[in-house]
Chains A and B, each alone.
Chain A
């Protein structure tokens, strides 16, 4: 589903966020991306979501290389990825229903189906019945779950999440992560960037560890190792 081949990313300000990073994630896999802040977790997610293009190397998502994808194909590319943010990026002036429905609306789904799927997604995150409330009327944990509902509503084959539990207490964090695991159980590929070691241990999934823009360990391998390629 996701293949990074010797990917480097240098930002216009000269900072090299990633250096020769290579890894692969299979379809239906759930993977944690860990490391200190500044290690390059967010950059990996941005490269997957095509918010950035690699400076060197290739990033392939669902069979498409992001380096060469034409601008007019980017919207269709992004529609197959559900993105969850730490600050959840909800539209404060729109009710929950509209927020969750947005990916379906941009994809041109019929109204009836939109209605059905939004309710199903809100049901999955335990927020059914709050469609007409505004995001600010919900708790932080609930807002985060609205963000997750929006990410999954169009049933994308890939979900990526950047610190989705950053603002949540441990119980809520675990609850949110279990939610992601449920999606993974039904075949969705899930990539979660987090610094919460407690959660990573609890869920016992593959873990890719980044440090200073390089892979320091990959839990898919029998033993964590330092990638030698420099």
Chain B
């Protein structure tokens, strides 16, 4: 068989399957809807996880530690300590907050101004706000940085303000796993839906299959249109899932942007990345094809021509 004939056969099978799906718009639409929803859910989870990761990337600056100096450390010495701290590898920025400035800010933002006036001396220590480099922001790096500062004799305590970021990353890890489980379960669902749809199609076309085998159609020839039907279900389902995702992003984005602004971030939803779309279409096509193949393999063998 020449390549041209081979191609012609496949194009014929593909167009035939496409035509058949188009002739039963309602049944096709329902099947596509089921597949589209099943694909959209895990894809939405992965979009959420990826977007949230990008968001915490934006929160990288929010990882910092407060180094509280002992009271009585003079300002000049504090400035020297800040300079030393800047030289420590893994440190991006150090801001010195003198006790006076701290008191002013506290008075301004806390609303305890009158209570503070009652105090004879400034109860607040001088603070170094240390922002680590992003590359040195792992839990272990932060811990070693914390110990380094805590060992200084002028330092009272070191407080890490990062635990919520670590927790958030852990939550994302859980969601990622959840996404994988959802993808596996709903993927199995897509297999079953496509497999069953193809099985019904095979039963409906039994007479045609018998005649085709009778005139010398091979199993591969008889199977081919069903495989293309499965593949088309996969592509159509993925397309529908994409539309659902974009619509969901469109609806969610204003409120997410508002939320991000409340946290001082300019972040907004990005929608499915190329990677997610590749996974969506690749997964959809693979599942559609596989479901059709299993079904066709099982049910076509039993159909032999009778005279």
Chain A positions within 8 Å of B, measured between CB atoms, are 42, 45-46, 49, 51, 72, 75-79, 83, 85, 89, 91, 102-103, 105-111, 150, 162
Contact = CB atoms under 8 A, between A and B. Distances in A.
27 contacts: A42-B307, A46-B307, A49-B307, A51-B214, A51-B304, A51-B306, A75-B213, A75-B217, A75-B219, A78-B216, A83-B214, A83-B307, A89-B211, A91-B208, A91-B211, A102-B211, A102-B212, A102-B217, A105-B9, A106-B212, A106-B216, A106-B217, A106-B218, A108-B6, A109-B5, A110-B4, A111-B8
B214 A78 contact: yes
Contacts of A49: 214, 307
Contacts of B6: 108
Nearest to A79: B216
Interface string B178-218: 00000000000000000000000000000110111111111
* Most chain B beta-carbon neighbours within 10 Å: one of A46, A77, A83: A83
Contacts of B210: 89
B304 A76 contact: no
A217 B6 CA distance: 48
* Most chain B beta-carbon neighbours within 10 Å: one of A46, A72, A107: A107
Interface residues of B, number: 24
A46 B214 CA distance: 11
A196 to B, nearest CB: 19
Nearest to A78: B216
Contacts, number: 63
A51 B305 contact: yes
Interface of B: 1, 4-6, 8-9, 12, 207-208, 210-219, 221, 304-307
B5 A108 contact: yes
A33 B141 CA distance: 93
Nearest to A42: B307
A36 to B, nearest CB: 18
A191 to B, nearest CB: 13
A72 B207 CA distance: 21
Contacts of B4: 110
B216 A105 contact: no
B35 to A, nearest CB: 26
Contacts of A150: 215
Given A72-B218, A83-B215, 9 more contacts: A77-B216, A78-B213, A78-B216, A83-B307, A106-B218, A108-B9, A109-B5, A110-B5, A111-B8
A150 B214 CA distance: 12
Contact of B307 (A45, A75, A79, A110): A45
Nearest to B9: A108
Nearest to A86: B307
A40 B153 CA distance: 109
Contacts of A77: 216
Nearest to B13: A105
A107 B214 contact: no
Given A89-B211, A91-B207, A91-B211, A110 B8 contact: yes
Nearest 5 A/B pairs, CB to CB: A79-B216, A106-B217, A78-B216, A75-B218, A103-B215
Given A106-B221, A108-B1, A76 B216 contact: yes
